[in-house]
Amino acid sequence: MSQQRKRTAVFISGRGSNMAALVKAAQAPDFPAEISLVLSNKADAAGLEFAREHGIETLVLSHRDYADRIAFDAALDAHLRIAGIEIVCLAGFMRLLTPWLVERWRDRMINVHPSLLPSFKGLDTHARAIETGVRLHGCTVHFVRAEMDEGPIILQAAVPVHADDTPDVLAHRVLEQEHVIYPKGLALLASGRLRVENERTIVSDERPVRDVLVVPRV
Ligand code: GAR
């Protein structure tokens, strides 16, 4: 690959399994991004250990140490710049970012959300999917915008909802697909194959849909 691998930061708040999926994908020599920094707003985020074990620089910035959201986001931004970061992946980062920061990273900041957006924004998506009775649920990789769980969709994966599913069982089925589509989404962005027009994502050289829609057997 002639291009430099894009320096990528992953923001986590907890378990960090999506971060781990990105790290593993980026170990492939032809992956167009490298995970250069894992940043957490919580010192006890379990994912930090995985990052350290994999030789990745980690940083903990607690929002409690800053006067307000703007001050916290200015510190985040400063650290990203110092580290020469080009792409930010939110991966279970449970903190709303200010419009200021989101705008600074417009079309260079992506997120994974555990639902087929625009359905089920926010928390407890799996319980709400079961309660609503939808037959298909899933996950979405999207560009980040200032409104929560909004932004141009990059990839989605759908999974069936079974009659006897509990939220935990369904969450596990969805999470497996998050780990598939998040690395794919990052690779598309890092290799320069995405552009946003009228708040829709255009993928250049788009492959057949079977590559981006993952529906396991019922
Ligand atoms: C994931 O399911 C992710 O989609 C979700 O938090 C979980 C984090 O798990 N994110 C959101 O709900 C953001 N709106 P992980 O720490 O194991 O990646």
The annotation status of 111 as a binding-site residue, yes or no, is: yes
Query: What are the sequence ranges of the domains in the chain?
Result: 1-105, 111-218
Please tell me the predicted confidence (pLDDT) of residue 213.
Answer: 56
Atom of ligand 1 nearest to the CA of 20: 18
pLDDT of residue 54: 98
CATH 3.90.870.10 fits 1-105, yes or no: no
Question: What CA–CA distance (Å, rounded) separates 139 from 212?
Answer: 11
Superfamily of domain 111-218: Formyl transferase, N-terminal domain (3.40.50.170)
All residues at 6 or more sequence positions from 123 whose CB lies less than 8 Å from its CB, including other chains: none
Q: Where are the alpha helices (DSSP H) in 6-157?
A: 17-25, 47-53, 69-82, 99-104, 125-132
Residue of 9, 3, 5 lying closest to 108 (CA atoms): 9
| pLDDT tens digit at each of 218 positions of the chain | 446 999 999 999 999 999 999 999 999 999 999 999 999 999 999 999 999 999 999 999 999 999 999 999 999 999 999 999 999 999 999 999 999 999 999 999 999 999 999 999 999 999 999 999 999 999 999 999 999 999 999 999 999 999 999 999 999 999 999 999 999 999 999 999 999 999 999 999 876 555 455 544 44
pLDDT of 179: 98
Is residue 38 within 8 Å of residue 48, measured between CB atoms?
yes
Please give the pLDDT value at position 55.
98
**Interatomic CA distance for residues 153 and 5, integer angstroms:** 23
Domains 1-105 and 111-218 share a fold: yes
The predicted pLDDT at position 205 comes to 81
Q: Write the CB contacts of 76 (distance below 8 Å, at least 6 apart in sequence).
A: 39, 61, 97, 101
The runs of H, that is alpha helices, within 83-160 are 99-104, 125-132
113 is catalytic: yes
* Tokens representing residue 218 in the block: 């019922």
- Nearest protein CA to atom 12 of ligand 1, as residue: 113
**What is the value of pTM for the model shown?**
0.94
The predicted pLDDT at position 74 comes to 98
Q: Which residues form the pocket of ligand 1, taking CB atoms under 6 Å from any ligand atom?
A: 12, 14-18, 91-92, 112-114, 149, 175, 178
